[in-house]
């Protein structure tokens, strides 16, 4: 999962290390040269000249002698110019990984600010410093809007209704069945409601998944009212002590107006606890754009990204929360019903920056 992005983040760490090593070597050479100068000019008459040459430091930045002095005390100073190339490469890498432009910029700004600011202190290893800066920057953008999904289910009045939206073909129905399993493992019963009355075959599809995971499915005729189906799901759940109603909906209707009308009616009729947007991680920028579009048409509470197991870039997972203000809550990590993983920003970033394969 996200191996391409992981490699690229590793390259940035190496790039900065190389820059700093090069600088250390230069500073060491300078220190040696300065020591030689001192030996040669240690007569009292030469001293004022040396002082003035230290003050008029004409090579810009903190200056060679100050760098050399810093090196002698074990400090390394990273300056903006040292980061220029590595940051440029990082930007390209993020964009190639389908990270949305504004999100990539946010990450770069944060890394730049942290590395330049912090590096003026004692530095143990450059790699640690870079890792910390990347970790903070990534966690910041990924964890926008995060909330504890399970706690929200636990605290909500029962039955809890969750509506799933998103275009067809991305694994929405599979994700509903996976969610039903995920809830079951945590002691919550659920019923599936086929609010996708638009597409032929949707009912058979959700029924098959429901049978596979041993859940009841509520469905009406094709062309029926999605709000009415989900309402029946809620009625069934209330009458049978079922905790959660998982409502499928038709992904894209003709216009975002239709979509909004459909979801608005569902909201009026059953007042769902959450509306989750489902898309596939492998769609990259397209998934990010769709998340924006769906969030605009009908406010979503969070996202489920399917097929993360097949996604090398990680761009959608990195970008969606920052772009929509709504968190990624789950990742689909395979075709089995158990392959649904709660999205944990810190854990994900640790994996992205980790050394293990
Ligand atoms: N590798 C992988 N495959 C997945 C994942 N989620 C769904 N799939 C597969 O994607 C294919 C489509 O899933 P469905 O749920 O049937 O998708 P769909 O019928 O297009 O779904 P709708 O979005 O409901 O229209 C199926 O073969 C699923 O097994 C996932 O997280 N990882």
Q: What is the pLDDT of residues 201-233, one digit of tens each?
A: 888 999 999 999 999 999 998 888 999 999 999
Helices (H), 56-100: 64-72, 80-96
Q: Do the beta carbons of residue 231 and residue 286 sit within 8 Å?
A: no
The ligand 1 atom nearest the CA atom of 196: 24
Reported ipTM = 0.95
Q: What is the pLDDT of residues 286-344, one digit of tens each?
A: 999 999 989 988 889 999 999 999 999 999 999 999 999 999 999 999 999 999 999 99
Q: Which of 60-69, 94-103, 230-239 has the lowest mean pLDDT?
A: 60-69
For ligand 1, is residue 290 a contact (CB within 6 Å)?
Answer: no
For ligand 1, is residue 199 a contact (CB within 6 Å)?
Answer: no
Cα of first residue to Cα of last residue in the chain, in angstroms, is: 10
pLDDT at 120 > cutoff 80:
no
CB neighbours (10 Å) of residue 243? 19
Q: Do the beta carbons of residue 8 and residue 97 sit within 8 Å?
A: yes
CA 67 to chain centroid, in Å, comes to 37
Q: What percent of the chain has pLDDT over 70?
A: 85
88 Cα to the center of ligand 1, angstroms: 36
177 Cα to the center of ligand 1, angstroms: 11
- Positive or negative, the CA dihedral 207, 210, 215, 217 is negative
For ligand 1, is residue 332 a contact (CB within 6 Å)?
Answer: yes
288 Cα to the center of ligand 1, angstroms: 18
What average pLDDT does the chain have?
87
Contacts of 336 (CB under 8 A, 6+ apart): none
Whole-angstrom distance, CA of residue 55 vs CA of residue 42 = 18
84 Cα to the center of ligand 1, angstroms: 42
Which residue segments constitute the domains of the chain, with CATH numbers given? Answer: 3-142 (1.20.120.140), 149-343 (3.40.50.300)
Closest listed residue to residue 196, CA positions, set 160, 238, 235, 166:
166
Q: Is the pTM of this model over 0.90?
A: no
The token duo for 228 is 């009415």
For ligand 1, is residue 314 a contact (CB within 6 Å)?
Answer: no
């Amino acid at each position: 999962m996200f191996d391409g992005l992981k490699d690229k983040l590793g390259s940035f760490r190496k790039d900065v290390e190389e820059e700093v090593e090069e600088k250390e070597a230069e500073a060491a050479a300078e220190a040696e040269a300065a020591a030689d100068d001192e030996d040669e000019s240690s007569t009292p008459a030469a001293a004022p000249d040396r002082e003035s040459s230290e003050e008029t430091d004409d090579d810009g930045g903190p200056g060679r002698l100050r760098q050399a002095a810093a090196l002698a005390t074990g400090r390394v100073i990273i300056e903006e110019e040292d980061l220029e190339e590595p940051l440029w490469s990082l930007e390209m890498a993020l964009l190639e990984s389908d990270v949305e432009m504004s999100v990539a910029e946010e990450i770069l700004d944060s890394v730049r600010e942290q590395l330049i600011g912090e590096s003026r202190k004692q530095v143990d290893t450059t790699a640690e410093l870079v890792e910390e800066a990347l970790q903070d920057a990534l966690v910041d953008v990924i964890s926008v809007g995060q909330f504890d999904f399970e706690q929200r289910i636990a605290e909500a009045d029962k039955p809890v209704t969750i509506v799933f939206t998103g275009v067809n073909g991305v694994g929405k129905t599979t994700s509903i069945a996976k969610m039903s399993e995920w809830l079951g493992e945590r002691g919550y019963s659920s019923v599936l409601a086929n609010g996708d009355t638009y597409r032929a075959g949707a009912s058979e599809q959700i029924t098959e998944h429901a049978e596979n995971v041993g859940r009841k499915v509520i469905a009406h005729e094709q062309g029926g009212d999605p709000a009415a189906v989900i309402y029946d799901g809620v009625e069934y759940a209330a009458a049978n002590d079922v905790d959660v109603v998982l409502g499928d909906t038709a992904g894209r209707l003709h216009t975002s107006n239709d979509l909004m009308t459909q979801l608005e009616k569902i909201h009026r009729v059953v007042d769902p606890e959450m509306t989750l947007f489902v898309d596939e991680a492998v769609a990259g920028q397209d998934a990010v754009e769709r998340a924006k579009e769906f969030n605009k048409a009908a406010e979503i509470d969070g996202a489920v990204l399917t097929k993360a197991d097949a996604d090398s870039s990680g761009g959608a997972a990195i970008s969606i929360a920052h772009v929509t203000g709504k968190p990624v809550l789950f990742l689909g990590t395979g075709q089995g019903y158990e392959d649904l993983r709660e999205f944990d920003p810190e854990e994900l970033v640790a994996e992205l920056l980790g050394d293990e394969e």
